[in-house]
Amino acid sequence: MVYRHAIGSTTYVFDDLRDLLAKATPPRSGDRLAGIAADSAEQMVAARIALADVPLSQFLQETVIPYEDDEITRLILDTHDRSAFAAISSLTVGSFRDWLLSGTATSAVLKKLARGVTPEMAAAVSKLMRNQDLILAAKKCEVTSAFRNTIGLRGRMSVRLQPNHPFDDVKGITASILDGILLGSGDACIGINPASDDPAVIGGLLRLLDDIIARLQIPTQGCVLSHVTTTLGLIEQRVPVDLVFQSIAGTQAANRSFGIDLALLREAHQAGLSLRRGTVGNNVMYFETGQGSALSANAHHGVDQQTCEARAYAVARAFDPLLVNSVVGFIGPEYLYDGKEIIRAGLEDHFCGKLLGLPLGVDVCYTNHAEADQDDMDNLLTLLAAAGVSFIMGVPGADDVMLNYQSTSFHDALYVRDLFGLKRAPEFDDWLLRAGLADSEFRLAGNTGLLPDFALRLIA
């Protein structure tokens, strides 16, 4: 279907829904690189006005990637909950935005709606929203998940403790874990990005995490972010695996470039469930995404990178994950050029993920060759906390010495928790109190005589 809108004497024509979505997207370098961005601010405004008039039901009739060509499109349409969609079926994209910002769209209503919203609907409405709209609407969406603790409760924000080491050195990793735990991080998970893809090394790291968590009785979960096929092999060897990790994207072709498809993810999900290692829940999957991944694999089908990102959330949603992490600035300035684009993308991803019913966290990050700095990350972190982000990263000094990018530190988490009065996962907070690492108000104990004893128990 062709879409049109006239501004003055100029009529802008958009070939199809895919083109309309791309031209309505706020400026970003990835879409410019792909040659699908609006040519001018005027054309972008015309696209947004035309998009506002598109009925939400049109997204069930017109796909951005053909049904027969892409298993993600088939997943989206075949699993769409039409009964949930009925509540908004009469709305256009523009009136959907107004409804989301109204008092009618309560947390309870949005929870029931989630499976009725397709990724393309979420992406479309986000393109009509200012940053404040993305924050307000996301704040209403309360999404919880659980394994050994409960993530996503209102008034709480979790942290993935990320103790990476360039040589997978056990002592270095253990020191970073100690640093993070003493600063109250680690309730989302303790997750290591391995420098090696050797299953023996990865198995050793999994055993290290299992030993620390079991010996200290920490109500959290460990994860080594290896390829899903490696994890499956280790599960067969009875290596202790809590969470099954995989990077995912929003097109079948992009996922193929990662060496995965939906069938493999289903196998991994079932393998994770079969271990029965959770204590308060059985959400066993951890997914990471990022705007630009489909484009970087030349697998975007002419779809803008933000819509592709939202489609990745349909993949995640199919497997009831514990954590979904948008690594927003990690791919580089070719896709998100500067701090302004990274901030906008982070807020879009968080809103779309939460609207679709996912426990969405954000790695507030940038690469060293991007036009961004830590002040930009402070801004995004603060905005995401206001929006109710489920979790963020905790990296020693905010500088990942293995992946060579800048993220958020354990102290950044303390800042934003103090600013907004945010607590950790309840089970983790209770453990900090029992371990003598926090007081009755769940404030960290600081430099007391208890800490050296705890450190000795961790490294023994």
Distances (CA, A) of 296 to 301, 332, 345: 12, 11, 17
- What token pair was written down for 21? 């979505």
- 64 phi/psi in degrees, rounded to 5: -80, -25
Rounded to an integer, what distance in angstroms lies between the CA atom of residue 319 and that of residue 227? 17
Q: How far apart are CA 325 and CA 297, in angstroms?
A: 20
- List C-alpha distances in Å: 108 to 105, 111, 343: 8, 5, 28
Let me know if 227 is exposed, middle or buried by CB neighbors in 10 A (0-12, 13-18, 19+).
middle
What SS3 state is found at 288?
Answer: strand
- Mean pLDDT to the nearest integer, 85-96: 98
H or E stretch at 98: helix 93-100
What's the pLDDT tens digit per position in 165-222?
Answer: 999 999 999 999 999 999 999 999 999 999 999 999 999 999 999 999 999 999 999 9
Is residue 380 within 8 A of residue 342, CB to CB? The reply is yes
Q: Which two tokens stand for residue 283?
A: 């959400």
44 touches 24 (CB < 8 A): yes
Transcribe 100-168 into DSSP letters: HTSTTS-HHHHHHHGGG--HHHHHHHHTT--HHHHHHHHHH----EESSSEE--TTB-EEEE----TT-
pTM for the complete prediction? 0.96
Per-residue pLDDT, averaged over 259-276, amounts to 98
Q: What is the largest CA-CA distance in the chain?
A: 76
Token digits for 342? 């990274």
User: What pLDDT, on a 0 to 100 scale, did the predictor assign at position 381?
Assistant: 98
Distance CA 64, CA 19 (A): 9
Q: Chain-centre distance of CA 311, in angstroms?
A: 12
Residue 453 pLDDT greater than 90, yes or no: no
Q: What is the pLDDT of residues 321-371, one digit of tens each?
A: 999 999 999 999 999 999 999 999 999 999 999 999 999 999 999 999 999
Tokens linked to 182: 């003493």
Residues 6+ away with beta carbon under 8 Å from 225: 191, 192, 193, 194, 245, 286, 288
pLDDT tens, position by position, 129-156:
999 999 999 999 999 999 999 999 999 9
Which pLDDT score is estimated for 451? 56
Are 23 and 44 in contact by the 8 Å Cβ rule? The answer is yes
CA distance 22 to 325: 23
**DSSP 8-class letter at 300:** S
Tell me how far apart the alpha carbons of residues 167 and 174 are, in angstroms, rounded to a whole number: 13
Gap between the Cα atoms of 123 and 118, Å rounded: 9
Residue 14 belongs to what H/E stretch? strand 10-14
Q: What is the pLDDT of residues 418-450, one digit of tens each?
A: 999 999 999 999 999 999 898 877 788 765 545
Q: Could you tell me where the DSSP H helices lie in 356-442?
A: 374-386, 410-420, 426-434
Mean per-residue pLDDT of the chain = 96
- Quote the DSSP letter at residue 57: G
